[in-house]
Chains A and B, each alone.
Chain A
Amino acid sequence: MWTWFHKLGSPPWMYRISGRILAILLPLTIAMLVVGAVWGLLYAPMDFKQGNSFRIIYFHVPASVVALAGYYVMAIAGAVSLIWRMKMAEVAMKCAAPVGAALTFLSLLSGAIWGKPTWGTYWVWDARITSMLILFFLYLGVIALYQAYENKEAAGKACAVLSLVGMVNIPIIYKSVDWWYSLHQPATIKFTEESTMHSSMFQPLLLMILAFYCLFTCALLLNMRSELLRRGASTSWVRALAGAR
């Protein structure tokens, strides 16, 4: 049963499989993004209180959800690279950081744009927004820490430890609106009870969340492929690939 795990660690196999996955997943992701955006921005009804400005939710919530999930991907990849010394996990960890940072930035930016017309301010130092800013700095920290080391093996270890320590922030972000008084409203999408959003608005939101998960996967795989080529520049499989072109 461990053969797939060992195959996962092989750069040529991973490169080939990720190419096949991307050939299907990338067009699917773009289609879902277009359909979800048109559905949410044009066809979903407007909100009874916020009017049209609530439509920022179709980018804000998916970006935030996947920014949190992406951190778990990065931290778990870091743990695997620490325990099994698996190079592929280290590549995944390194490549997840910029994608997660971009999503976190999108979440903060869209939140600020949304905050002005609804709350009356771009920014407030409440628990949710501040912990999200910390998540952004954690992602940037992992990127910067990796660049800071000459020795890439030491860089991978240090980044894995940093991402594991930062993992405690994720449940804090998630529960911040329940634990403390904040300006940010509590979660609309609930796992244990019915979500407090009308289904005509909720369906496009679910589609956009799914699209952002796929977008994260695509961006991560594309990033990993270029990293694999860079690392394996002198190996035979990359040469064979370059020669075949």
Chain B
Amino acid sequence: MHPVRKQRLILVCFIVVFSTLAVGLVAYGLRGNINLFYPPAEIAAGKAPVGQQIRLGGMVVEGSVRRDPQSLRVEFDVTDYQATVTAVYTGILPDLFAEGEGVVASGMLDDKGVLQATEVLAKHDENYMPPEVAEALANAHEEATGS
């Protein structure tokens, strides 16, 4: 290769390597702030600020959704299988909100450690299948576990 071109090739490699390094360091330094939400374990450990707008993300615990019959107020527990945090929300929940499904709730922690949510978003997973297949899978699972 021509020496001038070789020099330019090295220069191009330098640009790519150093920009990657710089952005990588910035992302590493900001890693806590890039996360969209706190999992319940971090909130239980006191890592999330109290009295400040935060997001809580995890799974809605099966059988934990308690609706107020008089209003749109709903209370549910969010878990990451290490800790559980209760959230309270008044309003309409997204269609995909369900027990055993992912959720991201934003709001403020009160002094009892309950999240007073102002917005609840459903977090769905990466699995897609037709309803019949999902049903067959559920049946197979029931038979296998004998329940």
A residues near B, CB below 8 A? 45-50, 54, 57, 79, 82-84, 117-121, 124-127, 161, 164-165, 167-169, 172, 180-183, 185-188, 196-198, 200-201
Contacts and interface: CB of A to CB of B under 8 A. Distances in A.
A49 B12 contact: no
Nearest to B106: A124
Nearest to A80: B12
Interface in B109-132: 119-132
A165 B130 contact: no
A183 B94 contact: no
A46 B119 CA distance: 28
A17 B133 CA distance: 48
Pick the 6 closest A-B CB pairs, nearest first.
A120-B94, A45-B130, A48-B134, A126-B36, A198-B129, A165-B19
A185 B125 contact: yes
A19 to B, nearest CB: 31
A17 to B, nearest CB: 25
26 contacts: A45-B131, A45-B132, A48-B129, A48-B131, A49-B134, A54-B128, A57-B128, A118-B94, A119-B121, A120-B96, A120-B120, A124-B104, A164-B15, A164-B16, A165-B15, A165-B19, A167-B19, A181-B39, A181-B57, A183-B36, A188-B126, A196-B125, A196-B128, A197-B129, A200-B130, A201-B130
Contacts of B5: 83-84
Given A181-B36, A196-B125, 17 more contacts: A45-B131, A47-B130, A49-B134, A50-B124, A118-B124, A119-B124, A127-B36, A164-B12, A164-B16, A168-B24, A180-B34, A180-B36, A181-B39, A183-B104, A197-B129, A201-B128, A201-B130
